[in-house]
Structure formats: structure tokens, C-alpha cells
Amino acid sequence: MAALGWKIHGDGKRVEPGAVVSTDERLSWPRTIGIGMQHVVAMFGATFLVPLLTGFSPATTLFFSAIGTIGFLLITRNRLPSYLGSSFAFIAPITAATASGGQSVAVGGILVTGVVLALIGVVVHFAGPRWIDLTMPPIVTGTIVALIGLNLAPAAWNNFQQFPVTAVVTLASIILITVLFKGIIGRLAILLGVIVGYITATIRSEVDFAPVAKAAWLGLPEFVTPTFDVAVLGLFVPVVLVLVAENVGHVKSVAAMTGKNLDDLTGRALFADGLATTFAGIGGGSGTTTYAENIGVMAATRVYSTAAYWVAGATALVLSMSPKFGALIATIPAGVLGGATTMLYGMIGILGARIWVQNKVDFSDPVNLTTAAVPLVVGIANFTWVIGDVTFEGIALGTASALVIYHLMRNIARWRGTSQEPASPASVPGGTEMADR
């Protein structure tokens, strides 16, 4: 275990032009604390939306997010800067599991997901990450990420239509802040848009402050004991694949920005996130993942010091110990959530497409085309398959179909020598007619 110490970067007051503050360096503590708090703000909007949308306690979620972040830093030997916030991949399975068996069943699903991810991390640590690339190439991971976001679209609409004026104001604010401001403010568009929407909702008397007045200033968050129902565990299986993709992508992104080879930390990162999600499942928090928002803060500040993430974890832990703070977050009304999730769920869908673009996925290859086409429809339409007491819905079925279709078609195509046959709209039955419309 590496010592928890950091070298002072330069004079500790600034980052020289063209330089970066590396993972094992830090600025002065006042500046490091300030940057660490920026990371808390950056993760804030997305991390709290998950418990608000699923009925979980925001304070409990923040508590396990903080514990998970500190554990992540320890397990990765203080070499990989990351904050572990709520994963949007859990929203659909948590909602479905809660509806069928209650919150404790959903918490049990989170716990099982964490254990599976931790086991994958152990395998990757000793066997290397190459098998992940072979099992889940970009066409598969991009499809899974996209269908998760698009599967959630009806949930965004349900919230949006409850208070449409507030929802429109929230969404418009996020859009405008994104393009009106540079640097860190632009990167916090979702959080700032939610604040504008919240103010609008308050003016329109859509916010109930009574629970805030009753809540104590200090106290432990509410914990939920997990229970297990095999009938809903299948809903959580696809989440493991998304968490693997997100963690591997995070390691690669940080490596590219810092110029360090961090491949040896991939297994540790997966194990750490799995352990954090397991702990969340033990006590009623949302499952965790690494955050792109915090990569944005690092890119804007050029500070990659893990010291800032220790500050972020400590700050989140302190905030989680205030029931009044958690109650205030819980007052965010449906209209604000509808506006924000219209953007966020769409962004998740487009992130899947971004994976395709960045990896130059060739859609003239019929294997790639079919691997994306069928699962997306399955996920968006929320196909459902009931086997006895077990129910598989759109995300689970879409994920399974992406994996099966890709590997089955790829192997048959290689056997038959048809891998290079292109598939364009004009080359499939009815394609010309569809293209002309």
C-alpha cells in the first residue's frame, strides 16, 4: 500500500502553463480543499438524481458514495483519482424491483451486483483486461449503454408532465448554461439548471418544505436491510456490464490525461467499485460508478491529485451526516427531475453512440449493424419475458441479445467467410423504399 503522501507541485500555488498536477502531487492544502469541493459539486446533480428518482434516501446514498470513494482510493493504492457517485444504470432495475418486492429487494439486487463486479475485478487483476475487450467489443458496450438511457425515456416524460412549466425552465436552463459559459461553470450545467428549476418550482409553490423543518441538523442516515428475491435479480445483471465498461473507460481516460500507464489498476478499480456497491447494498445506498463529471473538473483544473478526492470523500461524508440537508435534497419536485432527466437519459443514449464513433465501429458490417439494431428496439420498447417467477425486461433482454447476436453472428460469419459483406439501406429488403422516405 502506497503511503498517503503527496509531493508539493511547484510552489503549491498554481499550475504552470503546459504542466499538470500529477496523481502523487498536490497544491497547497487550501487550494486542494477548494478543488476537492469542486469535485463534490460536480458529482452532486447526477449522484442525487438517482435516489430521488428511485425513492432512496439521498443522505444514505451520499454516505455510501463517500465511503466508496475513500475505499476506492485505498484499494487503487492512491494512484487513480476518482469519485464514486450513483450509477444511472441502476435506475430501471431498482424501480422495477421496488415495485415488485419493495425497497429492501432492490437493495439486495444492488448488493449482488456489487459482489459480481468485485469478483470480475479479482479475475481482471490476475488475468488481465484483455478478455473484457474480446467479450464486450465497442459495438456491444455502446449498444448496452445506449439502450439503458433510451429505456428510461418514459420515466423522464412521467416526471416532465407533472409540472411542465418547471420542467421546461429546468431543461432550457441546462441547455443555455452549457453554451453560455466556459470552464467549470459550463461543466456544471446540470447542477445549475436544477438550481434554476428548483427556484422556479419554489416560486410556483411546488416545493413542500415541511419535511426540512422537521429534520434534525445532525444524525446518521437511514439504513435499509437487504432482502433477496431471485425473481428480480435478472434485472441487475446488465448493470454489471455497464459498470465494467465505465470503470475500464475511466482508467483509460485518466491514463491518457496524465500520461501514465494505469492498466495494472483496472482490476483494482473494478474490485473497488464492486466493493463500494456491495457496501451500498448492505445499507440502502445506490450502486456506485466512476464519474465523467469529475474527469471534466480534472481537465478544467489540470489537477489530477488524489488528495483532492480524499477531500471530496470527506466533504460528502460530513454532508451525509445532516438529515436536514438530505431532507432539503428530497424536496426537489417532479418537474425539475423531468427537465433534468430529459437531458441526462438522452445523454446516456448518446454516450453509447459516442463509444461507437470513438472506436470507429463500421456499420457497413452486418454483424455490427444487427448487434445495435435489434437490442435497441428491445430496450426502447421494453420487451418483457416472464419465466415462472422471474421477469426479464428490456434492459436485461437487450443486453443479452447484444452479446448473443454479436458473438453468434461473428463466429458464423467467420466460418462462412461472409464477414466483409456490407449492409446498407439499399442492400436490405425494402431498404431503397425506406431510404426514399
The model's pLDDT over 157-205, given as tens digits with 9 standing for 90+, comes to: 988 999 999 999 999 999 999 889 876 677 678 778 889 999 999 999 9
DSSP class per residue in 173-194:
HHHHHHHH--HHHHHTHHHHHH
**150 grid coordinates:** 433510451
Please check whether residue 5 lies inside any domain of the structure.
Answer: no
Number of other residues whose CB lies within 10 A of the CB of residue 10: 12
Please check whether residue 195 lies inside any domain of the structure.
Answer: yes
Q: How far is CA 418 from CA 136, 182, 415, 427, in A?
A: 21, 49, 8, 15
What residue type is 82 in one-letter code?
Answer: S
**395 grid coordinates:** 434492459
* 344, 190 contact by CB (below 8 A): yes
Rg over CA atoms, the chain: 22
Integer Cα distance of 389 and 228 in angstroms: 13
Please check whether residue 249 lies inside any domain of the structure.
Answer: yes
Among left, alpha and beta (phi > 0; psi -120 to 50; other), residue 360 is: left
Whole-number pLDDT of residue 198:
93
Residue 121 scores a pLDDT above 90? yes
Integer Cα distance of 391 and 374 in angstroms: 20
Integer Cα distance of 230 and 340 in angstroms: 33
Number of other residues whose CB lies within 10 A of the CB of residue 420: 10
Please check whether residue 435 lies inside any domain of the structure.
Answer: no
Please check whether residue 359 lies inside any domain of the structure.
Answer: no
Q: Report the number of distinct structural domains present in the chain.
A: 1
Mean pLDDT over 111-127 rounds to 94
Residue 430 scores a pLDDT above 80? no
Integer Cα distance of 426 and 421 in angstroms: 13
Residue whose entry in the numeric block shows the C-alpha cell 444514505: 60
Integer Cα distance of 40 and 290 in angstroms: 13
What residue type is 45 in one-letter code?
Answer: G
Cross-strand pairs, 289:
85
Give the residue with greater pLDDT, 83 vs 133. Answer: 83
Q: Is the pTM of this model over 0.75?
A: yes
The model's pLDDT over 28-52, given as tens digits with 9 standing for 90+, comes to: 888 888 888 878 877 776 788 788 8
End-to-end, the C-alpha distance of the chain in Å comes to 62
**391 grid coordinates:** 421477469
Cross-strand pairs, 288:
86
Residues near 299 by Cβ (< 8 Å), separated by ≥ 6? 257
Integer Cα distance of 316 and 141 in angstroms: 31
Judged by DSSP in three states, 322 sits in coil
The model's pLDDT over 351-393, given as tens digits with 9 standing for 90+, comes to: 788 889 888 999 988 999 999 999 999 989 988 887 776 667 7
Q: How far is CA 159 from the centre of its chain?
A: 20
The model's pLDDT over 276-317, given as tens digits with 9 standing for 90+, comes to: 999 999 999 999 988 766 776 787 778 888 999 999 999 999
Q: How far is CA 71 from CA 270, 278, 310, in A?
A: 12, 12, 10
Please check whether residue 157 lies inside any domain of the structure.
Answer: yes
Residues of the chain above pLDDT 70, percent:
92
DSSP class per residue in 377-415:
HHHHTT--EEETTEEE-HHHHHHHHHHHHHHHHHHHHHH
For 84, the enclosing helix (H) or strand (E) is strand 84-86
Please check whether residue 379 lies inside any domain of the structure.
Answer: no
Please check whether residue 58 lies inside any domain of the structure.
Answer: yes
Question: Which residues form the domain of 107?
Answer: 20-354
Whole-number pLDDT of residue 10:
78
Cα dihedral sign, 277-282-283-284: positive
Half-sphere exposure of 145 (CA within 13 A, CB side): 26
The whole-chain average pLDDT of the chain stands at 84
Judged by DSSP in three states, 236 sits in coil
